[in-house]
Structure 1
Amino acid sequence: MAEPAIFFEEVNQRQGEFHRRAFMMGGVAGLGVLGLAGRLAYLQLLETARFEKLAVSNQFNFKLVPPPRGLILDRNGVVLASNRPNFRLLVARDKGVDPQATLHTLAEFVPLDDSRQARLLRDISNAPKRSPVQVMEDMSWEQFSAINLRIPELPGVTADMGEVRVYPHGGAFAHVIGYVAKVNKEDLAPVGPNADPILLNPGFRIGRQGVEKAFDLQLRGKPGAHKVEVDANGREVREDTQGDIPAVPGQEIQLTLDADIQNRAMEVFGDESGAAVVMDCRSGDILCMFSGPSFDANRFVRGLSGAEYRQLANYERKPLFNKALTATYPPGSTFKTMVALAALEAGYDPKTVHVCNKAWAWGGRVWHCDEHHGAQDLHTAIATSCDIYFYQCALFVGPDKIADMARRFGLGDLFDIGIPGQKKGLVPDTAYKKRVFKKDPKWHPGETPSFGIGQGYTHLNPLQLCVMAARLANGEKALHPRLVKSIGGKELPVGSAFGDLPVDKAHIQFVRDAMKAVTTIGTAKATADMGLGDIKMAGKTGTAQGFNYNGGRGVHGTAGPWHLRDHAWFVAYAPYDDPRYAISVLIEHGGFGGAAAAPRAREIMRTTLLKDPEIRARVEKPMPMPQIPDDPSDSDRIPEPPTVIAPGPTGGLA
């Protein structure tokens, strides 16, 4: 048997192929190792910062913190709305947390009845996972510390300190400033400022009325964040205060209101229903805008129960209603100032005399007046508020000229004072009748006498009547009211920058002189004296029917049910020799203006004047020294020297 033969050429060939394959495999492996090394080098050297951030983001979270809401101040820097510390109790839905059992345990430390627990349970169930729901605020220190001691035993529970809005003056500014309340679903939006995640924070509040609502975005500020370390499940482990992002407080808003005058208005109104507005006759600044009865805005911040809200809403004197802006009423005899001006501008002779016998027959009916005034000219008719005179004066002028004059003085107008809620009211004319009453578009002559005494279709609000009084007092400028003085330190234009008043100055002076007579010899002579020496007030009373007397429903004066009585008005300015401040006061269903509205206007105006340094100096001027008559016989005499008395035996006086 032959042995196999080995051919070296064959072996060399196979070894060469093996070496080539080995080199190829080594090259591929080398390229892979080189690529892996390059990738590792890239991640380690070039992407270090990025992956450090990702690692930190897994380790740390940022909890949004609501910013301090901006302060609201009066004209003198008195705080009207601020923030105070607030101990809060929060519960979040999370894995392993039984909200029902948690609330039941918390009820042992804080007052949580069954109905409140049920409501909170719904809120927790509807909230996103790990999103805390506020269970209670304004906890006492004892409650706060007791719960904090047991936090390790209460998963999902947090007790912390936040801020809550506070209104130091309670109800005095409630209608003007408004209040803040919790954010609801209707407030949220997919885009815009209300898409900010901070709105979901349980401590965040949004403006609901007045200044709080109108300037909500400026007052909000910008949220900050607390840096916290979390575990793999996203639960907070500890805080890292060095990484906190500070919140930016909201802007400060300063109003033109004066806290002392506003509080005095609330005092003099008591339980009465109505409104008072005070304006500076030179600048248009609103110093007081009170609506009564009012409510405590602090109660709305914490949240009212259904029973509490119904009690406020159903009270007949409407404490939730801003009567200074939103309510409109017939202006009554205060409107006679506009009728008189329109008559003078139309060429009416102010010496024209009409005789008032308390009744006047015209147009197939009898028109009445409160008093038997006798013969009256225009001046005395304003002072005594004679209806019969102004029935006939209005017929001379006509509705369109009266309406035009009233609009020149701001009646039936809307003013940009920064807050919502104004009602325009109505100053009617023939165009209004034609536009609204399609079946009877003609203005009938019998509608003019009622228009002439501020009744009929005419409805106005207290702000408009204060603007009217301020323009009468100024006599030159078409003043606009200003409520917001500055936002974030930037001052807004004053109300005197809106042009001149297109009325003859002599005619305005005539009406002003007649308004002076109202408080000296007229319908307010017994109630308008402020007791400030020679500083007097000029004004005009008004009594406006709420209902027609003919149907037996309306009540004249203060007799009968409150809701059927007349409304009482008084508009005025002071001092009448150097006008500085104007006022309008409405007492809803108060009866006669001179008896109900004028005394309250007197007290509010007195406070206003005494706050003015120049007026106060005028009031407090020193009395002149008494004059001692000279004795001519003593003018050149030299006084005799004193008589010396000899000492007695004991050395004392005899």
Structure 2
Amino acid sequence: MAEPSIFFSEVNERQGVFHRRMFLMGGIAGLGLAALGARLAHLQIIETQRYEKMSASNQFNFRLVPPPRGLIVDRNGAILASNRPNFRLLVSRDEDIDTAATLKTLANFVPLDEARQARLVKDIKQTPKRVPVSVAEDMTWEEFSAINIRAPELPGVTADMGEVRVYPYGGAFAHVIGYVAKVNQEDLTPTGPNSDPILLHPGFRIGRQGVEKAFDLDLRGKPGARKVEVDANGREVSRDEAGDIAATAGKTIQLSLDVDVQNRALEVFGDESGAAVMLDCRTGDVLCMSSAPSFDANRFVRGMTGSEYRALANYERRPLLDKAITGTYPPGSTFKTMTAMAALEAGVDPEVRIGCSGGMYFGNRYFHCHKRGGHGMQTMRDALKNSCDVYFYTVAARIGPDRIARAAEAFGLGQTFDIGIPGQKKGVVPSTEWVRKHRPRDPKWHPGESLSYGIGQGMLTVNALQLAVMAARLANGRKALNPRLIRAIGGKELKSGAAVPDLPFAAEHIQYVREGMAAVTEAGGTGYRASQLGLGDILMAGKTGTAQVRSYAKGGPRGGVGMPWRYRDHGLFICFAPIDSPRYAMSVIVQHGLGGAVNAAPKAREIMRVALLKDPELRSRIEQPLPMPELPPETETEGGVPDDPIDVAAAPGSTAAGGPT
């Protein structure tokens, strides 16, 4: 039997392979351990602070806080728009929350009808996860307390205190200031200021009209943040007030309006419809820009029901329309000042008399004067004083529409002004060129149209702001003043409305028209009775106007007396005061108000009185003591001793002498 053979070389080779593999694997394992150790050292030593912050961010979170919206104040600092505390109820979406059931439970504590609940369920579903949706605003303390007590039982529900916009003067400034409302999906943009996450916050509001809309970015401010501790699902469990980031309030917007003048304007209009605008004749500052009837802007902030909004929108006197800058009307006889200015510039002698017998024929049509019996022979000053239509028919036919249009545009009609808020309508100041562009079917100016144009009728339309600018430029007599509504933004004052070029008219012609306006408010003038201020020697100049809204040929009395409201004529009045040194100018339009002297001039008088009495210089003039009455020549001093003694008994008529008693 053969014995096995042992080959030592083969054993040694196998051991060598094993050792090499062992060293290779050990080296790889060693490198791995070294890399792991290096990484651990890097994480735990070098990046300690970074991961501490990340750990804290998992534990703490920041909730955006809306900034206080900037204030809006009047020229004297009276607050027109501010913020007040607001108890609100919020609900946010989460996977383990039955939103419909939660809202049904909340309806036991706050008013939530089924229709409102259905709308809220839809809103909450469309909102990103854990972004709260406002369910109720302006809760009472009892409602707020009841929700907070049950907070542990109501996941996703929060009752907290935020801020809401408030307008202390209600409707007086509603059209100028506008209002704020919740952010709609249409307001959000992928880039720009409207992409800021703060817009999704339920307490954030955006400007919708007027100053609130035009200066929304200035009024917004910079949002802050509230530091809170959260659980693994991101729910808030506690608050860390020390880590809060304060919000920065929005800028303060100062208007040139005067709260007392504006309030008085709304008072004098009452239930009537129209507008009043007042300007400072020296600076162009707008002291009053009122539209009536108005609406309470606070109702829009809280949220208005569909029926409430329809009631406002469908009311025939249109409270939602800003009649000061958006509504346009024929200016009526207030425009005769522009026809007179154009005539003077065209070389018409103002002292040449034109006869008025109550109307005149032009072609085959008879044009009436407002005074059926006629005014007799009239100079230009007489025609302004008496508002004689025949005089201005004649003058307008002589000078043509283009000269009248140039004068009107130079005094601010047919223009829009940079007052900072949107909504202005230019109206129409027609000319031969305008007719060619805008009346293609009949592009020729007909001579008879000049007659209506000369008395402020026909195609001509203006707004109340334009009429006030016209009156202010006439009153100033030199500068083509521009209105200034926004006085300062964040404490920085804006350019004055007086930083403008001079009017392109001879000073003596402007003075003549001003004298004609002064005659209107003198005894015998169309505006005399309604324009007396009763403020000592301070007098007011003006021009009345009545604008037709329908043809008298269609039947019914002239002016629309006794007719339905929408068929009555408009009443207008422009004025300035004091006559000797104009300080304030204004326009008043009473929609379907029958006549300027009857309805517009009395309103202008009451509004003007407030402005004059508030002016320190003019008030001191008004309050000057009356002159002492003249005393009769000196006679015997009562109780004095006569130079020569008198015998009382012998005096005629004395009882001692037996005379009569």
TM category, shorter: over 0.9
2:433 is equivalent to residue 431 of structure 1: yes
Structure 1 residues not aligned, in runs of 5+: 641-654
CA drift of 1:558 comes to 3.4
CA drift of 1:19 comes to 4.5
Q: Percent identity?
A: 66
**5 Å matches for 1:192-203?**
192-203=192-203
Whether the aligned pair in 1 keeps the contact of 2:381 and 2:516 (CA below 8 Å) is: yes
Letter in 2 for 1:248: T
1:129-179: CA deviation from partner (whole Å, max 9, x where unpaired): 222111100001111011100000111111001100000000000000000
2:423 is equivalent to residue 412 of structure 1: no
Tell me the distance in 2 between the aligned counterparts of 1:332 and 1:7.
132
1:493 to 485, 495, 513: 495
Bigger Cα displacement from structure 2, 83-92 vs 104-113? 104-113
1:425-483: CA deviation from partner (whole Å, max 9, x where unpaired): 01101111111222221111111100000000000000000000000000110000000
Question: What corresponds to 2:545 in structure 1?
Answer: 542
**5 Å matches for 1:493-642?**
493-521=495-523, 522-552=525-555, 555-556=558-559, 558-628=561-631, 631=634
**5 Å matches for 1:154-169?**
154-169=154-169
Q: Alignment partner of 2:279: what SS?
A: strand
Whether the aligned pair in 2 keeps the contact of 1:341 and 1:508 (CA below 8 Å) is: yes
Tell me: CA distance 1:232–1:386, structure 2 relative to 1, closer, same or farther (3 Å).
same
Whether the aligned pair in 2 keeps the contact of 1:546 and 1:554 (CA below 8 Å) is: no
CA drift of 1:222 comes to 1.3
Question: What corresponds to 1:34 in structure 2?
Answer: 34
**Please, what TM-score do these two structures have when normalized by structure 1?**
0.94
Question: What corresponds to 1:454 in structure 2?
Answer: 456
Bigger Cα displacement from structure 2, 574-583 vs 2-11? 2-11
Whether the aligned pair in 1 keeps the contact of 2:123 and 2:133 (CA below 8 Å) is: yes
Tell me: CA distance 1:18–1:631, structure 2 relative to 1, closer, same or farther (3 Å).
same
Superposition CA RMSD, Å: 2.0
Whether the aligned pair in 1 keeps the contact of 2:61 and 2:228 (CA below 8 Å) is: yes
Whether the aligned pair in 1 keeps the contact of 2:560 and 2:567 (CA below 8 Å) is: no
Whether the aligned pair in 1 keeps the contact of 2:336 and 2:384 (CA below 8 Å) is: yes
Question: What corresponds to 1:325 in structure 2?
Answer: 325
Whether the aligned pair in 2 keeps the contact of 1:555 and 1:564 (CA below 8 Å) is: no
CA drift of 1:107 comes to 1.1
**5 Å matches for 1:135-534?**
135-371=135-371, 372-521=374-523, 522-534=525-537
**Please, what TM-score do these two structures have when normalized by structure 2?**
0.93
Letter in 1 for 2:486: V
Question: What corresponds to 1:65 in structure 2?
Answer: 65
Question: What corresponds to 1:645 in structure 2?
Answer: none
Question: What corresponds to 1:649 in structure 2?
Answer: none
Q: Alignment partner of 1:527: what SS?
A: helix
Tell me the distance in 1 between the aligned counterparts of 2:23 and 2:218.
74
Tell me the distance in 2 between the aligned counterparts of 1:5 and 1:391.
145
CA drift of 1:490 comes to 1.1
Whether the aligned pair in 1 keeps the contact of 2:543 and 2:573 (CA below 8 Å) is: yes
Letter in 1 for 2:615: D
Whether the aligned pair in 2 keeps the contact of 1:547 and 1:553 (CA below 8 Å) is: no
Q: Alignment partner of 2:81: what SS?
A: strand
Whether the aligned pair in 1 keeps the contact of 2:253 and 2:488 (CA below 8 Å) is: yes
Tell me the distance in 2 between the aligned counterparts of 1:246 and 1:411.
48
Letter in 1 for 2:204: F
Tell me the distance in 2 between the aligned counterparts of 1:578 and 1:292.
30
Whether the aligned pair in 1 keeps the contact of 2:90 and 2:159 (CA below 8 Å) is: yes
1:53-112: CA deviation from partner (whole Å, max 9, x where unpaired): 222222222111111110000000000000000000011121221111111111111111
Letter in 2 for 1:581: Y
CA drift of 1:596 comes to 0.3
CA drift of 1:26 comes to 2.8
Whether the aligned pair in 1 keeps the contact of 2:556 and 2:563 (CA below 8 Å) is: no
Letter in 2 for 1:162: G
1:487-517: CA deviation from partner (whole Å, max 9, x where unpaired): 1111110101121111100000001111001
1:3-45: CA deviation from partner (whole Å, max 9, x where unpaired): 7787888777666655444433332222111111101111111
CA drift of 1:357 comes to 1.3
Tell me: CA distance 1:623–1:51, structure 2 relative to 1, closer, same or farther (3 Å).
same
